[in-house]
Structure 1
Amino acid sequence: MRAVRTLGILLAGGGSFAAWLSLAGGVVPLLDPLASFLPLFGSIILFGLLLARRRLISTIIAALLGLAPVMIGLWPELTRTIPVAPQEAPKIRLLTHNVWRKNPNPADTAQAIIDARPDVLMLQEAGGSFRPLLAALGEHLPYATKCPAVCDLAIFSRWPIVDSGYFFRDSKGRKFGPPVLWARIAGPDGRAFTAATLHYTHPTSRAQAVQRRDVARALARIDRDALIVAGDMNLTPWAAAMREQDRALAPLVRMTRALPSWPRALPVLPIDHLYAGPRWGLVSARRLPATGSDHRPILVTVARR
């Protein structure tokens, strides 16, 4: 019995220490990836307190001290405002999915995407084993972007794509910014909008900070009113880097709220996201069932405000 209590104290103490440490990610970027596991730290703290079986008052104090950093990290995500779309407005179904280069069952993944009936599809890691299935998607979503051989991104649309590129272009046609696949789509109401997809590297890499900075600077140079940006961002909502990106991409608003999408079997990390400009309001956002990928697809329905 004493060993069980000792284990509980160690779990609660260790979880609490890790949770408090993760809050320092805004000052020490190397600690920021810890914040991705804040909900897990909270579960470990509660389980540890259950095993410790201390007196009620001691348990309450320990819970408050241990869970405080968890709530500090999660609360902004749970309470932030997402604009809502008018119910009568024409709806657009947007699906973002990292289909995984090593997908062992790409045919099932493609069928799951088709069954979801998206109007606009944004894919990451669309090379590798999934590349032969792109033609099958084209039978259901007839308009698609063209991407260089080095690019593993893809955008499909139910409506005509009037322009697209792997880099943004200025008024003189000169490329600028990082490689972001984008498509200018003629919407169902006759008004065009731009959809873009990207894939960040892992948060422990310094390259991701450069990617996020370059993306924010590039998006600041284009019209963002009706812009949609989605992809595998390898960031969770409770990371300081995600909060920094939310501010940097304003007036775009992240329409996905704490939707765990990785890993496939037991999703615990919300790392696939979708942002939309001020012209859009949210109808719904949900995670779809697992496919052959190691990520779950995310389906977001929006409408013009």
Structure 2
Amino acid sequence: MPELATPFNSNGFCVGHFRPSSNRRGRIGTIVKTLLALTMLTIAASAQLGRIFPILDPLNALTPVILAMAVVICIFSFRHQHLAFAIAVLAALCSVERVAQVSVETGQLAIPADPGITVLSFNAWRHQHSPKETARAIAVSGADIVLLQEAGPMLNQADMMLKTAYPFQSDCPMGCDLAILSRLPVRDFRYRIRGDDGRFVGPRIVFADIDDASVMGPITVASIHVDRGNSPAGNRRQLDKSLDEMFTLMGKENLIIGGDFNMTPYSFDFERMDQAMLPIRRVSAGDRSYPSQIAGLPTIPLFAIDHIYASRRWRAAKISVGPGFHSDHRPIAVRLFESSLNPSH
């Protein structure tokens, strides 16, 4: 008698029931990967248009995330989901250009006998709830020079521990929330720069002239806070113009400048500012400083918007700083050595 066809295999499982389910999962996976790849491509392409339309430039902050997700999609789709793979490749190509252009001259150097100077930049956050604890965290940070933004609430605490650690402190006029703290003697503090017509030039900034930080002569350090601005296009033009005017008046040769620039290294605005800064260059690298908390809960910072620049007389070694600063930014710090004192040169 001939054997009847059965929907069950030799192990007793119903083949007809599971094959459609497996195929359905495969189709859903293909659709999900394709939609994710399309989303990544849309964001990456829109970010590229930030070169022409400033309102789209902030999307470049997501460039590393887009590139990483595009690579993951490529890995899991190159064998079977060819459309998703092709779209992900295009998204990666759009993103890699912005990542590749970010180059920073920094690194862990051979430490010379000279101790160098440690510079810390920190947006202390005007809305924070623990200003005294923040002041004491800065006091024990070990930095020689501290460049502060949104520092008003913290400095209003008049903490003696901070005053003892940093006897030289700027006294910014009423309404100014920038500050410089220094262990080293400061010859003079200056606030903003006035052009020939008497108007303030450049973004909000405070300067300190320090004589004893270098055997090669005096240096100028500056704390800066670049506003986001209500109009990306207007803010871009104003920043370009104001930086040029400011550097024309004060020069750059002996300058160390740090602060909250509100720009990631992947943006076109940052690229233009980087060119305006030459020959000084960014010496803080890989410092994702924002946000360090959301709604009072600690987070892993995703964006590098706080930076330190220095003239080419300095080489930098990145150093880490501990927790306890109670801000929505993390501080960034570098140890600077004069090139002539670096044994690797």
Unaligned stretches of 5+ residues in structure 1: none
Which of 302, 307, 316 lines up with 1:282 in the alignment? 316
Give 2:328's aligned residue.
294
Identify which range, 6-15 or 207-216, moves more after superposition: 207-216
Could you tell me the percent identity over the aligned residues? 27
1:228 aligns to 2:259 (yes or no): no
Q: Matched residues in 2 for 1:134 and 1:228: separation?
A: 26
SS in 1 for 2:101: helix
- Conserved? CA contact 2:131–2:153, under 8 Å: no
Give 1:177's aligned residue.
201
Q: Closer, same or farther in 2 for the Cα pair 1:48/1:10, shift >3 Å?
A: farther
CA deviation profile, 1:10-69 (whole Å, cap 9, x unmatched): 111111211122012122211111101111222443455577686176565444222112
Q: Closer, same or farther in 2 for the Cα pair 1:134/1:69, shift >3 Å?
A: farther
1:254 aligns to 2:282 (yes or no): yes
Q: Matched residues in 2 for 1:188 and 1:121: separation?
A: 13
Which of 128, 138, 145 lines up with 1:120 in the alignment? 145
Q: Which amino acid aligns with 1:110?
A: A
1:164 aligns to 2:164 (yes or no): no
Q: Which amino acid aligns with 1:298?
A: I
Give 1:28's aligned residue.
53
SS in 2 for 1:293: coil
SS in 2 for 1:180: strand
Q: Closer, same or farther in 2 for the Cα pair 1:134/1:254, shift >3 Å?
A: farther
Which of 110, 113, 117 lines up with 2:135 in the alignment? 110
Q: Matched residues in 2 for 1:242 and 1:183: separation?
A: 25
1:219 aligns to 2:219 (yes or no): no
Q: Matched residues in 1 for 2:270 and 2:106: separation?
A: 16
SS in 2 for 1:301: strand
Q: Closer, same or farther in 2 for the Cα pair 1:193/1:101, shift >3 Å?
A: same
Which of 297, 300, 314 lines up with 1:266 in the alignment? 300
1:200 aligns to 2:199 (yes or no): no
Q: Closer, same or farther in 2 for the Cα pair 1:262/1:304, shift >3 Å?
A: same
- Conserved? CA contact 2:123–2:260, under 8 Å: yes
Q: Closer, same or farther in 2 for the Cα pair 1:90/1:219, shift >3 Å?
A: farther
SS in 1 for 2:175: coil
Aligned residues: 302
Q: Which amino acid aligns with 2:90?
A: L
Give 1:140's aligned residue.
165
